[in-house]
Structure 1
Amino acid sequence: MKKLSIIAGAVLALAACQQLPQQTPEIALNKFSDTTLQKIYTLQDERNTAELLPFLHHNKPAYRTEAALAFASVQDTLAIPDLLGMLSDTTTSVRKAAAYALGQIGHKKAEDSIIKHMPHEGKPGVQAELLEALGKLATPVGADYLANYNATNQLALAGQAWGIYRAGLRQQHTPKSIELAIKLLSSVRPYEARLAAAHFLARTPRLDLTPYRQPLLNAATSDAAPEVRMAVTQALGKVKASDKAQFLSTIAQSDPDYRVRLSAIRAMAGLEFAQVKPAILATLQDKNINAAVATAEFIQTNPAGVEVDTLLKLLPAIQDARVRSGVIWVILRNSQPQSKSFLSNRYKQQYQNVRNPYDKAYLLKALSGYIENYQFIAEQMFGAEQPIIATTGMDAIITMRQQGDFPRRLDADFAEIFKRAVSSGDVALVGMAAAAIRDPKFNLRSQYKEYNFLTQAQQKLQLPRDMETNIELQRTLDYLSGKRESITPENPFTHPINWTLVKSIPEGQQVLLRTEKGTIVMQLFVEDAPGSVANFVELIDKRFFDNLYFHRVVPNFVAQGGDKRGDGWGSSDYSIRSEFAPLHYREGFVGMASAGKDTESNQWFITHSPAPHLDGKYTIFAKVIDGMEVVHQLEVGDKIIEVSLK
């Protein structure tokens, strides 16, 4: 009887099981369905070196690779011995990840081991990563090694070129480095090597490239890649030649790519206006707004000899507010004393009639071309309802104070404006004024008998939202009190990765960014920057970005958005961690804006062209896959109508 009961029970149990709903296996949309990978990235997010280190010795190569890449973001020198040991790993991806992480940590104690390991590394991709990493931490020994290295394949050659570029940024280079870069500009060299060499020559400080005039000119006018031409054209600014104005003017008016044209304008620094006048006037009316803006900025930076009558005649033809602002600034700056007041009153009246806050802000900045407008600008700044007007007003005040002929009789007045700004409670005015107060060129220390106003302003901040302002205040307090600069305050860890959301985002997820100028399509890199992507998607779901503006556009650099204030000083009540993967800023890559490592929240930018100096310093979390022609036409004040997942 008992046996029958057991059998009957088993039958009933089987029947019950057959009636249970069948579970559908979870579909993996990206690699983070793997709980071990989640764990590694969580430890990276927490900056937990102690628990990350064992993963560098995991029996699975994939986990060793990911753990090594994690230290590219954590950047703890305690990991260096383990990472150096991983350069002998049997798995190529592990060695490559270790090399990248060593470069990101950037400590010179890894230099000797990398150099000694190079002859034993046979994989081109790893060779390239090691050479670039060496440039990020090179002493003169490493710089010499990079200049003399004999690359045997194209990948290693590109890595060598990026290595000398990275070393050059740190002012570690030799005459052979320059000679190598010039050779790498040859059209027979691979694109990556040419691009790196061009950026080395353009961005390395204090190079005299006069002996290399002809190869530079050849590359600037004939290279097939505009990204190479624009960097080489920038490098031409370091050439001393009697025909410099002529060849730069030709490039500025003839190259089909606006980024090359504006690079030629910027390279004209130091030349007399009369020599480059036709090119300047032409590019002030360039069909691409970024070229015109860059030219207006150029004449502001280099106003000597710029003819007022010529600009007054040109001004009616210039419709863009930002370009007009630059031209008006130079008109006021260079006008005769008797004309300055008359013209200022005309432009003040225009200012009062303008309704667009961005146009209004630019006109206020233009008025800083005449020093006696400082009280008017300060009044508008402190009374502004829109943050962009207040912030631009402070920028205008600082610009006036920076002029070499600033009248010392106004020292006390400007010091009082800065003090009032610090006490205003507006995070932008506080941060900008604090930075101005400690500018050694201004010599304002004697103007402040006590510093309580800085301490009081600091106590009113809300962290981590106001971290950028907090850093500025602390540095200024240290400066005024004569202390060595204290350790930069760190943001608290308050916003861990939302793994539930991350796992719901498909690899290659696309985003539609609708703007007044057209639609831009971006592809998210959830597997490289899960925390940043999850944060971005959370903000999209909240409609956070809708109806905001591109508040910052730097010609041939970035278009930046995502700020509720609209002036670049708006943050959220939290911050996320920086995530650095072996990706590189090229045209159309999307990065998180920050005030330093681990301070990102809601602002982001799109690059106009390669920006290798941002690599490994700003999180890359997406790229533009359609609509770059829209990106290249964006202006400050262009509205972001809607951001949505595709």
Structure 2
Amino acid sequence: MKKHILIAGVFMALAACQQLPQQSPEIAVNKFSDTTLQQIYTLQDERNTTELLPFLHHNKPKYRTEAAIAFASVQDTLAVSDLLALLSDTTTAVRKAAAYALGQIGHSKSESSIINHMAHEGKPEVQAELLEALGKLATQTGAEYLANYNATNPTSLAGQAWGLYRAGLRQQYTPKGVEQAVKLLSSVRPYEARLAAAHFLARTPRLDLTPYRQPLLTAATSDAAPEVRMAVTQALGKVKSSDKPQFLSNIAQSDTDYRVRLSAIRAMSGSEFSEIKPAIFAALQDKNINTAVAAAEFIQANPKGIEVEPLLQLLPQIQDARVRSGIIWVMLRNSQPQNRSLFNNRYKQQYQNARTPYEKAYLLKALSGDIENYSYIAEQMFAAEQPIIATTGMDALITMRQQSDFPRRLEADFADIFKRAVGSGDVALVGMAAAAIRDPKLNLRSQYKDYSFLTQAQQKLQLPRDMETNIELQRTLDYLGGKRESITPENPFTHPIDWALVKKIPEGQQVLLKTDKGTIVLQLFVEDAPGSVANFVELAQKNFFDNLYFHRVVPNFVVQGGDKRGDGWGSSDYSIRSEFAPLHYREGYVGMASAGKDTESNQWFITHSPAPHLDGKYTIFAKVIDGMDVVHQLEVGDKILELSLK
């Protein structure tokens, strides 16, 4: 009887199977269903030049392109000759990728070849990539070529402007190049060219832009793009003019974009405070918190001539702990001794009663406005249970030690504090103190009879988790040992790409990032940075980021999160590789934080505005597609409530 039932069951199962739809083959959700591409990216991840080089000569242009881009991350000079040969490839995408990789490698021997290829290259997109690559490795010869190049289309014109910018970052520029950049600010020029020219003028060191006051002022007040206005406004700081305080004050109080107002505040450095006081006080109360924070940082950096009483009257109207900290710091710095004692007691009491670690941290930093508070700050730093308080305390002590009027009577006390910090075992205190000890301006060499305490601290580190601290210690040991150049320790390769996970992540995968201030939607770039995206997704699936804080916000630059310590020194027990693709940091792009190439793990940041100086140095793995208004409101101490795949 049981056998009949079994046979009947078998027939029923077979019939049911016949009614099921046919199983379709696995659908590729991104390009890594291609095993050859997977192999190329694995070799990139392993930094395996020997096995990667043959792919530059593959018969399929798709693989030649991907192999060239891979060398933008590997950055091995052994690939230069092969990449130069690819500049003559018949496929446009291959030539463009080779140009990008050559720029990333940055070897000067590529300079003449790139210039020679420009004479024969007819595709605007390749011309632009070659020009920008030239800027990354240019000598004075390359800088002159970029200044005199005659672009015949908008794309190559933008490439020329970005080339000028890249060369300028390396202090390779000519007077003709500066003049060309100013001309590119004209409203008739394309946005890309104007943006690059503005950043060239803003970020190239030691430029005197006084002769170009009027065209800069015109661009800063009338350009349609706030990203251009903010950079040009920053460049106005390099103009020597009696009316500079006035026109910067006007920009700071009138522009509709907080990032431009903020740039105007920063550009006021060197001005008499009496001339900019209304603009600064308005900025301290700006409706955007980033402008207010920037103003507080400005008065800390430029406290001369700031009266205490107006700040004391303003303080009750300021609610943000970070802004209040800057104001209190200046009050302590500039007040009379009898008032300073009163202020110290008041703000020490507020420190004890503060509700959150971040509030306590900023009050501790505020107290560093009075040098006599150093022992109190050190005491609180070593006793702190929350890392952010200890790290901020150390930052405050280092800032105190760096002041030009630091009293020599306290040199030994501060040297003892730094030595104790190195021996504390806390990765942040160790790393920060080590960096301070090698600061040549502080002249701490003579304060220590031997440096064995640094070696002992280094031996206790856990790598790769503590690589940032290891780098700081090694640099300090090399400096104290008289080495001219310090070799940065390399991170061991411990975390290969999880291809099983990568192949499950759709191209354009979205992420919901819920914060105190609202929801942000990210789009992941799995095809450009598979290792970084897989790592981010894996952590998100483990709820790693939930309930962490945004521990770092640099106004008009980045907001940063992903650190369990909450102070920027927290890493994982592994590291992943840097992945550099021909992408550019614009507003709302998401990158991996690092302490140097191939040291990324769990921290990431979102940009407030274009940050081209980060291009090719920090992995881009996502961008904001909704909620940028929330990003611009985020403050230090705001919480990541939840991060999940959409």
For the superposition of Structure 1 and Structure 2, which TM-score range results when normalised by the shorter chain? over 0.9
2:81 maps to 1:113 = no
What letter is aligned with 2:489? P
Alignment of 1:302 with 2:302, yes or no, is yes
Q: Give distance in 1, aligned partners of 2:455 and 2:183.
A: 55
Whole-angstrom CA distance in 1 between matches of 2:585 and 2:207: 24
Q: How does 1:418-457 map to 2 (within 5 A)?
A: 418-457=418-457
What are the Cα deviations for residues 311-333 of structure 1, in whole angstroms up to 9, with x where unaligned?
01101100000000000000000
Q: SS of the residue aligned with 1:131?
A: helix
Name 1:141's counterpart in structure 2.
Answer: 141
Shift of 1:478: 1.4
Q: Per-residue deviation at 1:267?
A: 0.2
Q: Which amino acid aligns with 1:132?
A: E
Post-superposition shift, 1:516?
Answer: 0.2
The change in CA–CA distance for 1:275 and 1:21 in structure 2 (over 3 A counts) is closer
**Where do residues 580-599 of structure 1 align in structure 2 (5 Å cutoff)?**
580-599=580-599
The reply on whether 1:265 has 2:265 as its aligned counterpart is yes
TM alignment of 1:537-548, pairs within 5 A: 537-548=537-548
Aligned equivalent of 2:496: 496
**Which amino acid in the other structure matches residue 297 of structure 1?**
E
Q: Percent identity?
A: 86
Quote the offset at 1:378 in angstroms: 0.2
Distance 2:181 2:609 in 1: 20
Deviation of 1:21 after TM superposition, in Å, equals 10
Paired residues of 2:299 and 2:326 also in contact (CA < 8 A):
yes
- Residues 605-636 of structure 1 show CA distances to partners (whole Å, capped at 9, x for unaligned) of 00000000000000000000000000000000
**Does residue 1:508 correspond to 2:508, yes or no?**
yes
* CA–CA distance in structure 2, aligned partners of residues 151 and 476 of structure 1: 47
Task: Provide the rounded CA distance (Å) in 1 between the counterparts of 2:274 and 2:352.
Answer: 35
What are structure 2's unaligned runs of at least 5 residues?
Answer: 1-14
Taking the TM superposition and a 5 Å limit, the aligned residue runs for 1:261-340 are 261-340=261-340
The amino acid that maps onto 2:293 is V
Cα offset for 1:483? 2.6
1:240 corresponds to: 240
1:356 maps to which residue? 356
Equivalent residue number for residue 54 of structure 1: 54
Name whichever of 455-464 and 479-488 sits farther off: 479-488
Q: Distance in 1 between matches of 2:354 and 2:486?
A: 44
| Distance across 2 between alignment mates of 1:142 and 1:599 | 32
Q: What is the Cα deviation at residue 26 of structure 1? A: 1.0
Partner of 1:372: 372
> Is 2:474 the counterpart of 1:474?
yes
* 1:359 Cα deviation from its structure 2 partner: 0.6
Q: Distance in 1 between matches of 2:65 and 2:271?
A: 51
User: Which 5+ residue runs of structure 1 have no aligned equivalent?
Assistant: 1-14
TM-superposed CA distance for 1:206, in Å, is: 0.2
Match of 2:407 in 1: 407
Q: Secondary structure at the match of 2:119?
A: helix
Q: Distance in 2 between matches of 1:599 and 1:292?
A: 33
1:189 aligns to 2:197 (yes or no): no
Cα distance between partner residues in 1 of 2:127 and 2:273: 47
SS of 1:546's equivalent in the other structure is coil
Matches within 5 A, 1:613-632: 613-632=613-632
CA distance in 2, matches of 1:480, 1:211: 44
Query: Per-residue CA shift, 1:571-625, capped at 9, x if unaligned?
Result: 0000000000000000000000000000000000000000000000000000000
**Which position in structure 2 is the counterpart of 1:571?**
571
Deviations 1:273-328 (A, max 9, x none): 00000000000000000000000000000111011111011011000000000000
Partner of 2:461: 461
Once residues 75 and 128 of structure 2 are traced to their aligned partners in structure 1, the CA distance between those partners, rounded to angstroms, is 20
> Is 1:555–2:568 an aligned residue pair?
no
Shift of 1:220: 0.2
The residue number in structure 2 matching 1:384 is 384
Q: Deviations over 1:107-142 (max 9, x none)?
A: 100000000110100000000000000000000000
- What is the CA–CA distance in structure 1 between the aligned matches of 2:134 and 2:403, rounded to whole Å? 41
Task: Give the secondary structure class of the aligned counterpart of 2:485.
Answer: coil
What is the SS of the residue equivalent to 1:512? strand
Amino acid at match of 2:388: I
1:397 pairs with 2:397: yes
In the TM superposition, what is the alpha-carbon distance from 1:336 to its structure 2 partner? 1.3
Is this contact kept in 1: 2:185–2:194, CA < 8 A?
Answer: yes
Letter in 2 for 1:93: A
Amino acid at match of 1:548: L
Higher mean Cα deviation, 580-589 or 481-490?
481-490
What is the one-letter code of the residue matched to 2:431?
A: G
- Aligned equivalents of 1:436, 1:485: Cα separation in 2: 18
Q: Which letter does structure 1 place at the counterpart of 2:302?
A: N
Question: 1:481 and 1:37 mapped to 2: Cα distance?
Answer: 46
2: CA distance, partners of 1:495 / 1:471: 20
Equivalent residue letter for 2:109: K
Does 2:593 align with 1:603?
A: no
Q: Deviations over 1:51-99 (max 9, x none)?
A: 0000000000000000000000000000000000000000000000000
2:493 and 2:182 map into 1 onto residues whose CA distance is 46
Distance 1:395 1:194 in 2: 38
Distance 1:437 1:324 in 2: 30
Question: Which structure 2 residues correspond to residues 45-84 of structure 1 after superposition, within 5 A?
Answer: 45-84=45-84
Shift in Å, 1:20: 12
What residue number does 1:25 align with? 25
Residues 388, 565 of structure 2: 8 Å contact kept: yes
Distance 1:171 1:526 in 2: 35
User: Which residue matches 2:223?
Assistant: 223
Per-residue deviation, 1:481:
2.2
User: Alignment partner of 1:88: what SS?
Assistant: coil
CA distance in 2, matches of 1:70, 1:432: 34
Letter in 2 for 1:27: I
**3-state SS, counterpart of residue 120 of structure 1:** coil
Alignment partners' CA distance in 2, 1:608 and 1:348: 34
Contact 2:479–2:486 (8 Å) recurs in 1: no
Question: By how many angstroms is 1:485 displaced?
Answer: 3.5
Aligned partners of 2:624 and 2:23: how far apart in 1? Answer: 38
Return the letter of the residue paired with 2:552: R
Q: CA deviation at 1:23?
A: 5.0
Q: CA RMSD in A?
A: 1.3
Distance 1:576 1:91 in 2: 32
Displacement of 1:355 after TM fit? 1.8
Counterpart AA for 2:602: N
Corresponding residue pairs, total: 631
1:477-498 deviations in whole A, cap 9, x for unaligned? 1122223333111000010000
Give the distance between the partners of 1:177 and 1:485, measured in 2 at CA: 32
Q: Following the alignment from structure 1 to structure 2, what is the Cα–Cα distance between the partners of residues 578 and 405?
A: 42
3-state SS of 1:590 partner: strand
Aligned equivalents of 2:478 and 2:110: distance in 1? 33
* Contact 2:422 2:434 survives alignment (8 Å): yes
